Structure 1
């Protein structure tokens, strides 16, 4: 057609309503997740199916003018965007945001040694009219949130709010470490060493506590079976050499990088993993566990799940579907599953019984 372009008609809310056999108001309630409305799940499913079939896309600009909502949420991270683990947090948050038709924007902030959160990065999102904010940190058990973070619905990843007013999600580091000890004990190990980190972060304290509590629960001494090192291969190597002088049958490492050092230390002492020494890591940091020989038994952190939980919870708060005070009073703790590979076996003493 000369001088003009053929355009395809875009489906509107009226088309979706007609296709689903419901009112336009019902369509609006379903697609905007309007709180406190009585729409059956069957009707809601029919509306969503009609919208999908017709290719309906909401006019976010028009909706924003009506509701003063931007459909954007902000994620502030303290250096985790440059760590090996952060990609899973971001992926979980992005995929959950996409599922809910929300835009996720990310600001990577410097690691903050002070538990009082810098308000500048939060304000950057407020200036851009973000509907809500997720703040992620790995340095503190507890943070002091600035007033501007309390001005919008907010969720924390990796730390709890000192005032108990902001919902938070954290990995269960203690239970993850305890599960390692319980698994090793079940295989017959009694001399279980722990190559601990010298870094003063929540993971250090949680994993050491989990190890100690599980050892005590099993009636096993552990005072001489803990050695400290830097949270890398060199630190794991040094700590494991120290532990091997105390004749453990298994070494549980603070993280997978330290486990790399444990493999080297075992090799230098002429020990075969797992026949002579079982080794376990923590973090499931790709590609380490599958790159070691034998492959490393380790604990995985729920990074993806924490990112998805944060967005899901924030979306519910924005729509008034969750009780913010109750969520804040009881931070959510997600499990750290144990992934058994090839680096663990019963000790030789148990195998001879």
Structure 2
């Protein structure tokens, strides 16, 4: 049947439930059991029923649309999980996500204007990496949620990784494995991730009365930087038994330098922990890299939840929400060998 011939009452009759139950089941709102929700959705799909979004919007004074402006994350392997999490949450809530991907610092894209013209209930602006920004004027709305970005001049709710907690988690894992001589290799960049992860590292080292040693090299934070930091730190000859790197790509540089230049085995000679859980790197290295996964999917989900709360005028909670990372254990950490410290 054509969609125009199928109404919500037809779906209700076929499912043996009330029109209200069908509405709640398809919108994701109201108290409907999971079994009933799935059954109603299946019957609606079989009948070819699609709710009239315009009519629904007129009744609720909401469009049930959320705008998602992606600053390059749609083309960034690890940050793309932000979008995945947002899409999953939107689907569960019966919302449609309208997505526009833009290049960093290019916000005159006519697609943004087209998105805003849809009268979206809320707007999510997601950066491809955690950084301080100045929210573009056209995106600085009352119901804008920032993801992986922090604007010190904005009052918009913000969802970011707990960078300090990530640094603590990685360092504590090495301490728990028995390491006392731990290096932190990072980049000399003024970004929240670098500052926060170093602070977390220093906190744990101080908590255990251990000497902190940080080596910073110019960015970008890639394998080249990791190799350069390793040569400066010289862990093979400095008594270090473990290295915590700013990210997985820098850890790859550590692997290359230790394995091929210094002929040091990982983790028998030196343990290594990274950050990101960039699968193309962490799972491909041998041994697999133990790392702290960033909460990208959870950040996307939380952003949608905050956008809905803002649209319903229920407040959005804390101005900045910091979500924890997750330790992914592979094969790059082992108890330290007996080392004579110079």
**Partner residue, 1:57:** 50
How has the CA–CA distance of structure 1 residues 289 and 62 changed in structure 2, closer, same or farther, with 3 Å as cutoff? same
**Partner residue, 1:13:** 8
8 A Cα contact 1:192 1:225, kept in partner: no
Q: Could you tell me which of 60, 67, 70 is aligned with 1:74?
A: 67
Q: Could you tell me which of 229, 251, 255 is aligned with 1:239?
A: 229
Q: How many residue pairs get matched? A: 330
**Partner residue, 2:304:** 311
The CA deviation string for residues 67-103 of structure 1, in whole angstroms up to 9 with x for no partner, is 5543322111333333232221111112222223322
8 A Cα contact 2:215 2:232, kept in partner: no
CA RMSD of aligned residues (A): 3.0
- Secondary structure of the residue aligned to 1:338 is strand
Q: 2:258 matched to 1:266?
A: yes
Where structure 2 has 5 or more consecutive residues not aligned to the other structure, the ranges are none
How has the CA–CA distance of structure 1 residues 258 and 15 changed in structure 2, closer, same or farther, with 3 Å as cutoff? same
The CA deviation string for residues 119-150 of structure 1, in whole angstroms up to 9 with x for no partner, is 98764532232221101125665544466545
How has the CA–CA distance of structure 1 residues 173 and 163 changed in structure 2, closer, same or farther, with 3 Å as cutoff? same
- Secondary structure of the residue aligned to 1:313 is helix
**Partner residue, 2:269:** 276
Alignment of 1:216-235 (within 5 A): 216-222=206-212, 224-230=213-219, 231-235=221-225
Distance 1:111 1:343 in 2: 35
**Structure with more of its chain in strand, by fraction:** 2
**Partner residue, 1:331:** 320
How has the CA–CA distance of structure 1 residues 106 and 257 changed in structure 2, closer, same or farther, with 3 Å as cutoff? same
Q: 2:100 matched to 1:137?
A: no
> How far apart are 1:187 and its partner, in Å?
1.4
**Partner residue, 2:188:** 198
> How far apart are 1:225 and its partner, in Å?
4.2
Distance 2:24 2:89 in 1: 20
**Partner residue, 2:147:** 157
How has the CA–CA distance of structure 1 residues 60 and 120 changed in structure 2, closer, same or farther, with 3 Å as cutoff? closer
How has the CA–CA distance of structure 1 residues 274 and 15 changed in structure 2, closer, same or farther, with 3 Å as cutoff? same
Where structure 1 has 5 or more consecutive residues not aligned to the other structure, the ranges are 1-5
TM-score by length of 2: 0.84
> How far apart are 1:217 and its partner, in Å?
1.0
Q: Could you tell me which of 194, 203, 207 is aligned with 1:213?
A: 203
TM-score by length of 1: 0.82
> How far apart are 1:161 and its partner, in Å?
4.5
Q: Which moved more, 1:196-205 or 1:339-348?
A: 196-205
> How far apart are 1:154 and its partner, in Å?
2.0
8 A Cα contact 2:223 2:250, kept in partner: yes
Q: 2:300 matched to 1:345?
A: no
Q: Could you tell me which of 75, 93, 97 is aligned with 1:104?
A: 97
